[in-house]
């Protein structure tokens, strides 16, 4: 897996390396600046001696990186103009500013940057705030950033586009906006949370990660008591997902519950997703008057009449049913009644269960049932469903950030998982999955991994079924949710334009083969 670091974690890793005596802050800054220049040269080999750059520097270490970039580009024969918010304010950035000036470079106030400067530049380097931004930025600086975005020059962000919170990906300016992505973002050692979340994911452009030689410090973090605080990028592997031996019951039996006639398409999509992801058997349970509709369209998926809570109780007497999917196309009243039977009983086994769509709406209306959620459940809300289930968390997520790190989708999902006592998969291009323990992964379908064709009716139903299929196979709730999210996005990318929900299960074999299965 790839770790996605918070601002505090990155700062702590750098401090640990410096305190251990293995490297100095100035050396880290030199490595970072060289990495940015190398990334610029690799991205645009047509640029070089005689090209023009504008470098925007802030007062902190991000600005220090900018002065290194300016000095190194000038040494390559570039024409470089540096604009700064003011004097450098950290010891290492003061050194770098002085090196730039003593070498013949000049520093003009950021307030003096104008359109001719920007339009004459081949590259604009944004080293104003980076990941250290913890407040809304001043209007004057905001205007310079907008000018940099709209100048037509190649915009290069050092660590992260200034104005974006490095922990949440949120824009840090009340009433401000950024609507042009960086052409290139160069960050250090590992991607940051803000590169994968919210506006930061959309505005980072191509992302390049420069190794600063801090892997030992990251390993120490991952072995330490705060290991669960580290967020990973979701992934999957053939060793996790392959079938090596056994018979159909060795790989579990998933039960998907469906609603009344005419509303069964969502459940059929979920059932197909569960079967394609490898569940040994899948049964679709539906009201008796919907059996004929499903039978006309399903072959490998079994059908069982389940119209009442008593029917469900009788079905669950079969211990070979190892996971359920409840919600897609079910109807809210039916979902409430079946939920009461499934999780509302004081005794009985806690089967793995995915709660999606109408089941989430029913939960939001029944605090007594919400209180009985357990750690074998997976909730799969989109933004609206999340707001109904966790209105206070959704309000914090949409409120102005204020001082300090902005409340993020990672924070909200972790808080929701702790409160509910179960795994929560908060959907979106920046899907976040969290367990009650605090373990968390992000499946970011952004940049080269973008999957815009998932914006189609029924895609979420397939995802719910895929999670249920992996639960049936024996995956734990957190592992099932993250693997399913990754496979779901990969299937969409594999199919490409024109995707509809029915295509997703049928694309999974190609994804599995690409994994080496």
Q: Where are the domains of the chain?
A: 3-233, 247-514
With a cut of 80, say whether residue 413 has pLDDT above it. Answer: yes
Average pLDDT over residues 426-454: 94
* pTM (predicted TM-score): 0.94
What distance in Å separates the CA atoms of residue 166 and residue 6, rounded to the nearest whole number? Answer: 7
Q: What is the pLDDT of residues 33-54, one digit of tens each?
A: 999 999 999 999 999 999 999 9
Considering the domain delimited by 3-233, tell me its CATH architecture: 3-Layer(aba) Sandwich (3.40)
**Higher pLDDT, residue 340 or 409:** 409
What distance in Å separates the CA atoms of residue 254 and residue 284, rounded to the nearest whole number? Answer: 9
CB 418 within 8 A of CB 433: no
Q: Say yes or no: do domains 3-233 and 247-514 share a fold.
A: no
User: Residue 347: which pLDDT band, with cuts at 50, 70 and 90?
Assistant: low
Residues 6+ apart with CB under 8 A from 250: 280
Q: What is the pLDDT of residues 416-432, one digit of tens each?
A: 999 999 999 999 999 99
Helix ranges (H only) for 44-81 are 61-75
User: Residue 400: which pLDDT band, with cuts at 50, 70 and 90?
Assistant: confident
Q: What is the pLDDT of residue 438?
A: 94
Residues 6+ apart with CB under 8 A from 331: 259, 260, 263, 358
Q: Which of 206, 194, 209, 227 is nearest to 430 (CA)?
A: 194
With a cut of 80, say whether residue 516 has pLDDT above it. Answer: yes
**Higher pLDDT, residue 117 or 139:** 117
The rounded mean pLDDT for the chain is 92
Q: Does domain 247-514 have CATH number 3.30.200.20?
A: no
Residues found in the chain: 517
Q: Across the strands, what pairs with 171? A: 164
Q: Please give the share of the chain, as a percent, with pLDDT higher than 70.
A: 97
């Amino acid at each position: 897996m790839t770790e996605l670091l918070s601002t505090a974690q990155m700062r702590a890793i750098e401090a640990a390396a410096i305190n251990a005596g293995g490297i100095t802050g100035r050396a880290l800054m030199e490595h970072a600046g060289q990495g940015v220049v190398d990334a610029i040269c690799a991205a645009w080999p047509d640029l070089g001696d005689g090209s023009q750059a504008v470098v925007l520097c802030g007062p902190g270490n991000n600005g220090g990186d900018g002065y290194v970039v300016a000095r190194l580009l000038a040494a390559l024969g570039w024409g470089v103009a540096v604009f700064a918010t003011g004097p450098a304010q950290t010891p290492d950035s003061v050194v770098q500013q002085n090196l730039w000036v003593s070498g013949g470079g000049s520093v003009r106030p950021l307030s003096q940057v104008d359109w001719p400067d920007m339009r004459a530049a081949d590259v604009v380097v944004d080293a104003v705030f980076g990941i250290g931004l913890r407040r809304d930025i001043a209007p004057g600086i905001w205007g310079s950033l907008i000018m940099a975005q709209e100048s037509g020059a190649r915009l290069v962000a050092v660590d992260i586009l200034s104005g974006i919170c490095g922990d949440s990906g949120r824009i840090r300016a009340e009433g401000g906006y950024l609507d042009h992505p960086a052409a290139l973002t160069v960050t250090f050692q590992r991607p940051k949370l803000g590169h994968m979340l919210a506006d930061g994911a959309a505005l980072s452009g191509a992302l390049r990660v420069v190794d600063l030689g801090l892997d030992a410090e990251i390993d120490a973090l991952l072995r330490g008591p705060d290991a669960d605080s580290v967020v990973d990028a979701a992934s999957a592997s053939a060793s996790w997902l392959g079938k090596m031996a056994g018979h159909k019951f060795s790989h579990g039996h998933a039960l998907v519950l469906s609603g009344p006639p005419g509303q069964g398409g969502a459940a059929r999509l979920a059932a197909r997703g569960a079967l394609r992801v490898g569940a040994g058997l899948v049964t679709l349970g539906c009201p008796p008057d919907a059996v004929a509709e499903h039978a006309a369209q399903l072959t490998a998926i079994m059908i069982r009449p389940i119209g009442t809570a008593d029917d469900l109780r009788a079905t669950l007497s079969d211990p070979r049913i190892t996971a359920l999917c409840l919600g897609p196309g079910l109807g809210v009243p039916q979902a409430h009644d079946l939920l009461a039977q499934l999780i509302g009983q004081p005794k009985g086994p806690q089967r793995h269960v995915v709660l999606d769509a109408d089941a989430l709406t029913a939960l939001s209306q029944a605090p007594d049932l919400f209180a009985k959620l357990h750690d074998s459940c997976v909730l799969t809300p989109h933004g609206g469903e999340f707001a109904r289930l966790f209105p206070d968390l959704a309000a914090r997520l949409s409120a102005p950030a204020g001082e300090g790190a902005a409340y993020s989708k990672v924070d909200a999902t972790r808080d929701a998982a702790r409160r509910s006592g179960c795994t929560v998969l908060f959907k979106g291009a920046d899907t976040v999955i969290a367990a009650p323990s605090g373990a968390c992964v992000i499946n970011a379908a952004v940049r080269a991994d973008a999957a815009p064709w998932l914006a189609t009716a029924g895609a979420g139903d397939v995802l719910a079924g895929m999670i249920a299929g992996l639960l049936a196979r024996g995956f734990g709730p957190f592992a099932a949710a993250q693997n399913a999210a990754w496979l779901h996005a990969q299937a969409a990318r594999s199919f490409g334009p024109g995707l509809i929900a029915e295509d997703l299960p049928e694309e999974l074999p190609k994804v599995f083969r690409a994994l080496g299965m």
